[in-house]
Amino acid sequence: MPELPEVETIVRGLGPAITGRLVTEVVVRESRLRERLAEDFAARLTGRRLVDLRRHGKFILIDLDDGRVWLVHLGMSGRFTLGDGSRSALPHDHVVVRLEDGRALTYNDTRRFGRLAVVPREAVGVETVAGVDALSDDLTAEALYAAARRHGRTTMKALLMDQREIAGLGNIYVNEVLFHAGVRPRRRASRLTRTESGRVIAAIRLVLAGAIARGGSSISDYRDGFERFGSYQFEHQVYDRAGEPCLRCGEPLRGCVVTGRSTFYCVHCQR
DNA sequence: CATAGCACCTGAGGGC
DNA sequence: TGCCCTCAGGTGCTAT
């Protein structure tokens, strides 16, 4: 569910509210996430101060005052929200982190595909297995072109979704980005031109900025750090619009499956 | 080695 | 109404 814009929205919202706060209690109600919560997860967080809140790709990174980092990945259905501490446990509230001011961070995840871990700062890169952040200035047209040469046999859709190369894009935003760039999802990476690479980079920045400005896309599960809905779903040009008219040329949009993920594009506007 | 396919888990929605 | 099937924003393991 959450891709870069959703995670960025959560981080921007929660950052000012929780940085500097002390963790007073950690309650683990369900440790069986995709990767079982470490035995000492609660112990490593309790008594720690939350020094900084940041994001890399789809990971929320919370720096602790002991040099370690609390990693939060929301998987498909994860929610990471801050409440006043009075919330009674809802279904799928797996972890509750109480802060010194009485408020509480809740990790809720219906499908349990997410991940929570506390790791040494040096291990963050390895643990997240994440490439250059999609919003980083280091993700240039040249860098994307080079990556496309390295992965020539795969499709542009699969390349953009590969977190080891570019961190942050998921199924919704790759569909949207490729539409804006005028490139078909199944295009072989080896056939991407330098000009198109530039268009893809511009599209990534345009789409992500627009989505962040709207607080992300709330299709079904996503809420921000304060349980609020995003509204970028109303701006989607192609995602989940198979058969509906292209908003640019009016031709019916195509729906298909690429690398096992539902894919939407305009035959006329994308080549 | 790089890539494609499926499994993981729960709930919502459509068809009958 | 209720049952059954399909599908969902992600990713890691496995087979090719």
* Catalytic annotation present for A5: no
Whether A144 and A232 map to the same domain: the answer is yes
Whether A120 and A136 map to the same domain: the answer is no
pLDDT in tens, A205-256: 999 999 999 999 998 889 999 999 999 999 999 999 999 999 999 999 999 9
Whole-number Å distance between alpha carbons of A259 and A81: 32
Query: Count of CB atoms within 10 A of residue A43's CB?
Result: 12
Whether A118 and A171 map to the same domain: the answer is no
Rounded (5°) CA angle A238-A226-A4: 40
Whether A105 and A151 map to the same domain: the answer is no
Q: Is the CB of residue A221 inside 7 Å of nucleic acid strand C?
A: yes
Tokens representing A89 are: 């446990």
The answer to whether the CB of A98 falls within 8 A of the CB of A85 is yes
Whether A62 and A86 map to the same domain: the answer is yes
Mean pLDDT for chain A overall: 97
Domain of residue A94: give its range: 4-128
Whole-number Å distance between alpha carbons of A271 and A267: 7
User: In this structure, which amino acid lies at residue A177?
Assistant: V
Which of strand B's nucleotides are less than 7 A from any protein C-beta? 2-12
Whether A111 and A212 map to the same domain: the answer is no
Q: Give a yes or no: residue A270 inside a domain.
A: no
Q: Give a yes or no: residue A51 inside a domain.
A: yes
Q: Give a yes or no: residue A271 inside a domain.
A: no
The answer to whether the CB of A4 falls within 8 A of the CB of A135 is yes
Residue with structure tokens 């199944």?
A186
Whether A96 and A207 map to the same domain: the answer is no
Strand C interface, A 151-170, C-beta < 7 A = 161, 163, 170
Which three-class secondary structure state does DSSP give residue A109? strand
Question: What mean pLDDT do residues A86-102 have?
Answer: 96
Q: What is the domain count for chain A?
A: 2
pLDDT in tens, A39-54: 999 999 999 999 999 9
Query: pLDDT at residue A139 above 80?
Result: yes
Whether A11 and A55 map to the same domain: the answer is yes
Query: pLDDT at residue A113 above 90?
Result: yes
The answer to whether the CB of A233 falls within 8 A of the CB of A2 is no
CATH number at residue A245: 1.10.8.50
Query: Count of CB atoms within 10 A of residue A138's CB?
Result: 9
Whether A174 and A209 map to the same domain: the answer is yes
Q: Is the CB of residue A175 inside 7 Å of nucleic acid strand C?
A: no
Whether A112 and A37 map to the same domain: the answer is yes
Whether A147 and A260 map to the same domain: the answer is yes
Q: Is the CB of residue A259 inside 7 Å of nucleic acid strand B?
A: yes
Length of chain A: 271
